[in-house]
Structure 1
């Protein structure tokens, strides 16, 4: 299942680095394309030339060694990766990632990637049990990093216990099983997602909008594509790159969003309205710029069309999911919206919670289904939240999938 995958392998400075040679060879034999990043300490144990020979790819050791002047190496590698594996992962590197430290090629690339990151720790048994290391591991797990637990046994330091890097065959088995479990969950399905804000013009200079960045909707589009779906993304004005393989339709106003959502609705199996659409717009839009006056300004506003409610009325076989951004009584308001809009599920976002809400790279949400199922997704990256939500949605779509 790893055939054709782009895998970045990070190798850190531990005696277990020799196992990374075997891992590189076996991944390459599986048909994966492997590029290795080594820390300076890792090169004390194994030569970069060894990994170059095994992977038949360049090996990266220095952030400032730009092999292609047209690209920034660590960003290019971060974007290239389908999977990122760190084996062995020392306590030092784990601490760097958990605290956002990027001071070499490996740590810099890890912080820049949006690929799934698998960490295979290897260290002394007492180091692995140290409170600082455990705290860092917990933090990374909350952010969505995945772990391949070390094995028990005789360690190079002479101790016996947990801390030995897992065998390459086991690491590959974990990667293969995860890929197999997630691949194709939405294969053959059409998914419609809305994202971002709308802008409602007052005049050619001014408009009303909101704080939505579109990051959550774009994460959903990206992850739905990874699960095999054909994704249409209807996006308000945002400064985000279109996820690979996604058909993007740009809109500006609530009316634009309404028309495009209604037009596309019947052709989709799953519809997720993550956009923050304006509830009101100026009743009158001025053709020329309004000039400043001494008196206060009063603008009359009118309601925009309720997109989600209209979709709920038109729903036939579609699985319809809404979003609710709330500041108080979020579960109460979310349940009311679930019923009043005739939704199948709703994702409730308490935007007052630390690390959640608009313009942030992390989020924490509550998923509610009409069956009464309630599932909280803890603070994590928006891509990890998107993965979790899609897994819940796929489960609740059931036979209709």
Structure 2
């Protein structure tokens, strides 16, 4: 279950061209089970009508303290009953007002009365964002305990390219989840590997596997959300890098080994979710092979067994491996625990289309070194990630 399920979130929207993206943010929050109430400044309503947000949130939109007869919405109680207040987008004008304690509309007075956690998501032109006055106001907010999410770099409404773009709504939703999560992994240093590796036959062709990295990335997001200091070593994927973690990108098994050996010391937990190639061509051709009649034989040699090497050198580190199997699942997993000195193995059957590689869902069986088993029924990979971390806590 999402950690924001049932949480009360106030989304404050100010007058920016990025307002339309806030509609997608509401959709993500509602999908995760949050109770969303929207408050808009007068200028925000010029860009998108309140009706849009009423429809998406299922709640009346608050526009002004005095313009809605018959309503009894109190900015004081709303600011204290909410679990989180998010200002997205936050204009330079609004940031300046709340930095200096000005409360001249519902949203700004809500901030003054709030005891909830507050997330600010600036969105403006690059010259405005880097203006020293704006930066000073942002610093004031940070010093007073506000969480400020950095804008993205990209094409802006003015046509310029630079820093100031409204963050991706899904990234904001993730930041909200992180803000409200139980920090039960605070202080833990966690190393996670994810994705496939590739081994080149020639400059064009390669050997790889079906791993997309989704499971490993889900674990990285969940661990960071719960307070861990996360390092993610990733093979080639099409996934966006999770926010707030240390990241290293690799391609081959040798590169994966090098990155793991560079980063594993000092970690409390290592989770090897990557699908590392077991073999590589003995020789990589310098030029593309040309098609010809008859058979072509590629001689293969084993790649380094990173998990086994970690098992020999792990010391007090909790070591977790994955087993993607199609037959003899439990026997293979138990053999891997013993051979590679694992504390826990996460077994999944990749012969089924709705779980494992490329799927959005997974069903896993976790087995520890004592033979204790726990089955996680088919569910989202985000849910599986939290279940894996829950199990690791008690090893």
1:32 paired to 2:84: yes
Deviates more, 1:348-357 or 1:358-367: 348-357
1:79 paired to 2:171: yes
Q: Contact (CA 8 Å) 1:35, 1:55: kept in 2 or not?
A: no
Instruction: For residues 141-162 of structure 1, give each alpha carbon's deviation from its aligned partner in whole angstroms, at most 9, with x where no partner exists.
Output: xxxxxxxxxxxxxxxxxxxxxx
Instruction: For residues 204-262 of structure 1, give each alpha carbon's deviation from its aligned partner in whole angstroms, at most 9, with x where no partner exists.
Output: 11110000001111111111111111111111111111111111111111111111112
Q: Which runs of 5+ in 2 are unaligned?
A: 12-28, 30-34, 38-53, 63-71, 89-104, 112-122, 125-154, 158-164
* Residues matched between the structures, number: 277
CA distance in 1, matches of 2:360, 2:175: 20
What TM-score, normalized to structure 2?
A: 0.62
CA distance in 2, matches of 1:27, 1:353: 47
CA distance in 2, matches of 1:83, 1:247: 16
Summarize the Cα distance change of 1:6–1:198 in structure 2 as closer, same or farther, 3 Å threshold.
Answer: farther
Runs of 4+ in 1 over 6 A off after TM superposition: 50-54
Number of the residue aligned with 2:290: 291
Q: Contact (CA 8 Å) 1:27, 1:34: kept in 2 or not?
A: no
Number of the residue aligned with 1:386: 385
Q: Contact (CA 8 Å) 1:320, 1:343: kept in 2 or not?
A: yes
Aligned positions of 1:6-25 closer than 5 A: 9-10=35-36
Aligned positions of 1:220-231 closer than 5 A: 220-231=219-230
Number of the residue aligned with 1:197: 196
The CA deviation at 1:35 is 6.7
CA distance in 1, matches of 2:76, 2:238: 40
CA distance in 1, matches of 2:394, 2:236: 32
1:186 paired to 2:195: no
CA distance in 1, matches of 2:287, 2:388: 45
Q: Secondary structure at the match of 1:348?
A: strand
Q: Contact (CA 8 Å) 1:198, 1:252: kept in 2 or not?
A: yes
CA distance in 2, matches of 1:340, 1:202: 30
Summarize the Cα distance change of 1:54–1:211 in structure 2 as closer, same or farther, 3 Å threshold.
Answer: farther
CA-based RMSD: 3.6
Summarize the Cα distance change of 1:272–1:384 in structure 2 as closer, same or farther, 3 Å threshold.
Answer: same
CA distance in 2, matches of 1:239, 1:206: 19
Q: Which runs of 5+ in 1 are unaligned?
A: 37-49, 57-66, 85-114, 117-174, 397-401
Summarize the Cα distance change of 1:22–1:311 in structure 2 as closer, same or farther, 3 Å threshold.
Answer: farther
Aligned positions of 1:25-174 closer than 5 A: 26=77, 28-29=79-80, 32-34=84-86, 76-81=168-173, 115=177
